Structure 1
Amino acid sequence: MSRQEIKFTGFGGQGIILVGYILGKAASVYGGRNSTMVQSYGPEARGSACSSQVVIADGGIFYPYVTNPDMLVTMSQEAYVKFLPELKEGGILIIDEDLVTLKKTKKKMTMFSIPATRFAEKMGKKIVANIVMLGFFTEVTKTVSFEAMEKAVATSVPKGTEELNLKALHEGRQYARNILAEGKKDN
């Protein structure tokens, strides 16, 4: 687990940049590893494809950009189409199943899906879909400990929303636990 490259993708306004920041913080501040985060988004910002690139390593990070992500998390169809070709062969793909329709691909990967936006809507705040996805990601990939992720979420979200965001994180984690217990993964 020396160097891991992770790319979160979606559209502007979903909090894609925030989840990259939180993951990097969980890894470095609360997990004792090194991390970098680079963000990119289209000129329109809100509504266009955007990504958050996170590199996590046990040692030094001499190149902070993600070239072939080990893990790709996508929360929009446009981002899925744009970024899937970058996923490393044998990598992990995680999608929001209500927002992404899979296309046939010959790429070998492990694929997981979660209705993150639907979970967030049931909680009454669609805006926390990114944190639901982050909880799912954390449990499925074990990139950082869940405890480190909880601390990073609690100290990164706007004041007054900590409880809601931590609940969203736990929702995603529980869904992942259920999926893993059933052995449900695709491809």
Structure 2
Amino acid sequence: MAERFEIRFSGAGGQGLITAGIILAEAASIVEGKNAVQSQSYGPEARGGASKSEVIISDTPIDYPKATIVDACLAMTQEAADKYAVGIKPGGVLLLDADFVPREPKGDFKVIKMPIMRTAKEDLGREIVANVVALGAMIALTDVVSREAGEKAVLAKVPAAFKDLNQKAYSLGFEKVKELMK
């Protein structure tokens, strides 16, 4: 891992992307013992407006808690892609929800398209876990934490009745992106 790794999750308010960022930060800091900070920003709308969650992970102390040069970005909606898929470093990666981001942002970064919401709905029967599908996908894309650390953090965060569903969602996102990267 680079000394400082920056990840941005973006989408519409209510999609659970702030929660995904918190879980990633916990996987890095609590499970793996790295330094991590998480910040969030969202529009004045309670649901529906563009929102983002940024996670910075480092092996050394983090001196500035905001993302400056993003290594990896997720955009679940076109509005989020237009607003937040900026500042991705050359050679970085952008993961788009293939169904909700028809116009691909341009830049010197790799773009991966995956139908995240559709995957959650069709494969798991629950769109509500699309954020966990996306989290699994981002961890698979970046290797910023181990697959096991991500899964452990997910399972620590969700109620007991939903552990199986979230574990399946996480694994599905992880495996689907690994397939896309082949």
Q: Same fold (TM over 0.5)?
A: yes
Superposed CA deviations along residues 86-116 of structure 1, whole A, max 9, x for unmatched, are 22222110111111113462x2101111111
Q: Distance in 1 between matches of 2:9 and 2:77?
A: 10
Partner of 2:119: 119
Q: Identify the residue that residue 128 of structure 1 maps to in structure 2.
A: 129
Q: Structure 1: which 5+ residue stretches go unaligned?
A: 182-187
Q: Is the 8 A contact 1:114 1:133 kept in 2?
A: no
* Alpha-carbon displacement from aligned partner over 1:46-98 (angstroms, at most 9, x marks no partner): 11000001100001001001122111111111010001222222211011111
Give me the whole-angstrom Cα distance separating, in 2, the residues matched to 1:72 and 1:180.
16
1:50 correspondence with 2:45: no
| C-alpha separation in 2, matches of 1:177 and 1:79 | 24
Residue aligned with 1:155, SS: helix
Give the SS at the match of 2:85. helix
When normalised by structure 2's length, the TM-score is: 0.95
Q: Which runs of 5+ in 2 are unaligned?
A: none
Counterpart of 1:87 in structure 2 is 88
Structure 1's 145 and 104: CA in aligned 2 closer, same or farther, altered over 3 A? closer
In 2, Cα distance between the equivalents of 1:104 and 1:36?
A: 27
Find the counterpart in structure 1 of residue 38 from structure 2: 37
User: Could you say which residue in structure 1 is the equivalent of 2:173?
Assistant: 172
The structure-2 alpha-carbon separation of the partners of 1:47 and 1:149, relative to structure 1 and needing over 3 Å to count, comes to: same
Structure-2 separation of matches of 1:174 and 1:6: 19
What TM-score, normalized by structure 1, do the two folds share?
0.92
SS at match of 1:148: helix
Partner residue in 2 for 1:185: none
Distance in 1 between residues matched to 2:12 and 2:104, nearest whole Å: 19
Distance (whole Å) between structure 2 residues aligned to residue 135 and residue 113 of structure 1 = 14
Q: Distance in 2 between matches of 1:154 and 1:103?
A: 33
Residue matched to 1:184: none
Q: Taking structure 1 as reference, are residues 175 and 104 closer, same or farther at Cα in structure 2, changes over 3 Å only?
A: closer
Q: What code does the residue aligned with 1:25 have?
A: E
Q: Does the aligned pair in 2 maintain the 1:97–1:115 contact within 8 Å? A: yes
SS at match of 2:168: helix
CA deviations over 1:11-40 (Å, ceiling 9, x no partner): 111001000000000011111211000011
Equivalent AA in structure 2 for residue 93 of structure 1 = L
